[in-house]
């Protein structure tokens, strides 16, 4: 445990406290200088990838990529499915944000934004039959900027672009380059300042996990328990939860059922996966399992839990910089036959402002379609296990680690259960 985490375990009841020992929102100790250095690193990473791909501009619609580029946050979930704000980074020019009308002031003081304009909407919900006129107005503005700052380069990258926009730019003589590859690779390598921001998100997440733990008593519903993580994240400056993966007892197997109004019963396994987008926009992706009512595990529960932990420990021990994804797969822990049909589909994945590239499948699923690549220092990787067998409950475990020059460092410290 670190001094900032203030965790204690007393009769299997885990309590998470702030520095004053009180149950109240956690206030970030991260300095403005650290935040500005993280912002500069992230924008620089995008520009580096743009240069490698020889694109005149990078058009961003994904709110996570806009947050990464500028630390600009506005209605993140809503704008993930309503394309009403966007940004463009010009290779030899400014970085421009087109903001939702009336929200321009939300970006005051953000150092990476050179200019703010009012967004031009052309989705059907806002424009209806006038959408074609809207997309032409939008495309003319984008084209004009690339003409001004592109030096004759007519290649542009975009992360998410609906068909009408793509066709409108193609009609103006521009060549589309897939931008998701660019942004994912940029985001994959974290600076020391980014890791400091991520550590704080994990701190908040673990406070929420402790709140779940303390309320894991008979009669609590799955949704009630899941609400404790939402509560801690929201009151401490976080954003949202990507999933609703907390279940108990028979609902844990098969995995991926979302939390329900089922009441947890004494002795049942409670398993969850946080997928929490927390303070500063970073993801804390942690999984734990324990028994309702803090009861000792049954022999079957103990066996499955210890098997899952063995997988996590082994796959952590082999994780090294310079290792190819295929080598990681070759050296990874082999799941016993009785658990294969109930397995998780992956062994490890990247994480940053959300789950990210790369994804390394579990050995059972690693075939010619698995991506190639190399584990690099500065990546943050989640190592996972889901273990179950016929008619058993599922145990879900996951830890988040920084790849260093010599190995890896766990960023979370919430305890495993004693087995």
Q: Determine what percent of the chain falls in helix, strand and coil, rounding each to the nearest 5.
A: 40, 20, 40
Q: Does 390 score more than 70 pLDDT?
A: yes
pLDDT, tens digit, 9 for 90 and up, residues 245-270:
999 999 999 999 999 999 999 999 99
Burial class (CB in 10 A: 0-12, 13-18, 19+), 98: buried
Q: What is the mean pLDDT of the chain?
A: 94
Q: 9: which strand partners? A: 14
CATH number at residue 141: 3.40.350.10
pLDDT at 265: 98
**Among 273, 292, 275, 293, which Cα is nearest to 284's?**
275
* Enclosing domain of residue 305: 190-410
126-182 tens-digit pLDDT: 999 999 999 999 999 999 999 999 999 999 999 999 999 999 999 999 999 999 999
Residue 17 maps to a domain:
no
What are the angstrom distances between the C-alpha of 80 and each of 60, 61, 183, 339? 11, 8, 16, 36
Report yes or no on 249 lying in a domain.
yes
Q: Which of 165, 187, 209 corresponds to the end of one domain?
A: 187
Q: What is the mean pLDDT of residues 369-374?
A: 97
Domain identity same for 69 and 167: yes
Q: What is the pLDDT of residue 8?
A: 42
In this prediction, residue 129 carries a pLDDT of 93
Task: Give the mean pLDDT of 187-213.
Answer: 97
Q: Is residue 388 part of a domain?
A: yes
Encode pLDDT of 61-76 as tens digits. 999 999 999 999 999 9
One domain for residues 175 and 279:
no
Closest CA to 412 of 283, 294, 304, 320: 283
Residues 328 and 390 in one domain: yes
What is the C-alpha to C-alpha distance for residues 203 and 141, in angstroms, rounded to an integer? 43
Predicted pLDDT at 14: 47
Q: What beta strand segments (E) does 280-378 contain?
A: 283-284, 287-291, 346-351, 355-361
Q: What percentage of the chain has pLDDT greater than the value 90?
A: 93
Taking 80 as the threshold, does the pLDDT of residue 5 lie above it?
Answer: no
| Pair 145, 243 in one domain | no
In a domain, 7, yes or no: no
- pLDDT value of residue 24: 84
Q: DSSP string covering 80-120, please? A: HHS---EEEEETTS-EEEEEPTT-GGGGTT-TT-SEEEEPP
Radius of gyration of the CA atoms of the chain, in A: 23
> Average pLDDT, stretch 202-227?
96
**What CATH number is attached to the domain comprising 203?**
3.90.230.10
Of the residues 187, 205, 226, which one is the last residue of a structural domain?
A: 187
CB 120 within 8 A of CB 138: yes
Q: What is the mean pLDDT of residues 14-34?
A: 78
Same domain, 101 and 75: yes
Residue, of 256 and 22, whose pLDDT is higher: 256
The total number of structural domains that make up the chain: 2
Crossing angle of the two packed helices 63-70 and 179-187, in degrees rounded to 10: 50
Helix (H) or strand (E) holding 315: helix 299-317
Note whether 178 and 202 are same-domain residues. Answer: no
275-318 pLDDT per residue, tens: 999 999 999 999 999 999 999 999 999 999 999 999 999 999 99
Judge whether 239 lies within some domain: yes
**Strands 155-158 and 57-60, bridge-based pairing:** parallel
Structural domain includes residue 231: yes
* Domain presence at residue 26: no
Q: Which tokens sit at 42?
A: 């992230």
Structure tokens at 384: 């996972």
Is the domain of 173 the same as that of 217? Answer: no
Q: Is 264 found in the same domain as 160?
A: no
Residues 205 and 345 in one domain: yes
Residue 23: which pLDDT band, with cuts at 50, 70 and 90?
confident
Do 218 and 103 lie in a common domain?
no
- Among 121-125, 251-255, 287-291, 378-382, whose mean pLDDT is lowest? 121-125
End of a domain among 187, 217, 241? Answer: 187
Same domain, 216 and 332: yes
Say yes or no: 91 and 236 in one domain: no
- Residue 339: HSE in the Cβ half-sphere, 13 Å Cα cutoff: 25
Q: In what order do the strands lie in the sheet with 115-118?
A: 115-118, 95-99, 86-90, 57-60, 155-158, 175-178
Residue 22 lies in a domain: no
């Amino acid at each position: 445990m670190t001094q900032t985490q203030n965790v204690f375990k007393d009769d299997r009841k885990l309590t998470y406290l702030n520095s004053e020992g009180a149950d109240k929102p956690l206030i970030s100790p991260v300095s403005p200088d650290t935040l500005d250095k993280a912002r500069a690193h992230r924008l620089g990473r995008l520009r580096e990838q743009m240069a490698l791909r020889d694109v005149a501009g990078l058009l961003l619609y994904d709110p996570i990529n806009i947050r990464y580029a500028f630390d600009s946050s506005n209605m993140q979930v809503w704008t993930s499915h309503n394309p009403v704000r966007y940004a463009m980074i010009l290779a030899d020019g400014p970085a421009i944000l087109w903001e939702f009308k009336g929200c321009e002031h939300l970006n005051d003081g953000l150092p990476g934004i050179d200019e703010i304009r009012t967004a031009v909407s052309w989705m059907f919900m806002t424009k209806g039959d006038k959408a074609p006129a809207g997309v032409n107005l939008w495309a003319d503005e984008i084209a004009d900027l690339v003409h001004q700052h592109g030096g004759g380069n007519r290649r542009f990258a975009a992360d998410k672009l609906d068909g009408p926009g793509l066709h409108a730019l193609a009609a103006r003589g521009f060549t589309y380059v897939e931008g998701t590859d660019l942004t994912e690779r940029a985001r994959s390598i974290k600076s020391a300042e980014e890791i400091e921001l991520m550590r704080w998100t994990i701190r908040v997440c673990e406070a929420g996990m402790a709140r779940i733990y303390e309320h894991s008593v008979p009669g609590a519903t799955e949704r009630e328990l899941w609400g404790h993580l939402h509560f801690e994240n929201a009151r401490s400056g976080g954003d949202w939860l990507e999933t609703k993966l907390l279940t108990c007892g028979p609902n844990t197997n098969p995995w991926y059922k979302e939390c329900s109004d089922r009441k947890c019963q004494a002795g049942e396994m409670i398993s969850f996966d946080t997928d929490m987008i927390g303070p500063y926009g970073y993801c804390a992706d942690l999984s734990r399992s324990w028994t309702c009512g803090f009861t000792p595990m049954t022999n079957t529960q103990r066996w499955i839990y210890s098997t899952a932990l063995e997988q996590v420990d082994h796959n952590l021990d082999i994780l090294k910089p310079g290792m190819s994804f295929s080598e990681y797969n070759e050296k990874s822990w082999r799941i016993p036959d009785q658990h294969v049909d109930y397995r998780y589909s992956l062994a490890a994945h990247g994480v940053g402002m959300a789950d990210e590239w790369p994804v390394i499948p579990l050995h059972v699923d690693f075939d010619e379609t698995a991506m190639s690549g190399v584990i690099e220092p500065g990546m943050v990787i989640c190592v996972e296990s889901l273990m179950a067998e016929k008619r058993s409950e599922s145990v879900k475990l996951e830890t988040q680690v920084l790849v260093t020059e010599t190995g890896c460092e766990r960023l979370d410290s919430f305890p495993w259960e004693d087995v």
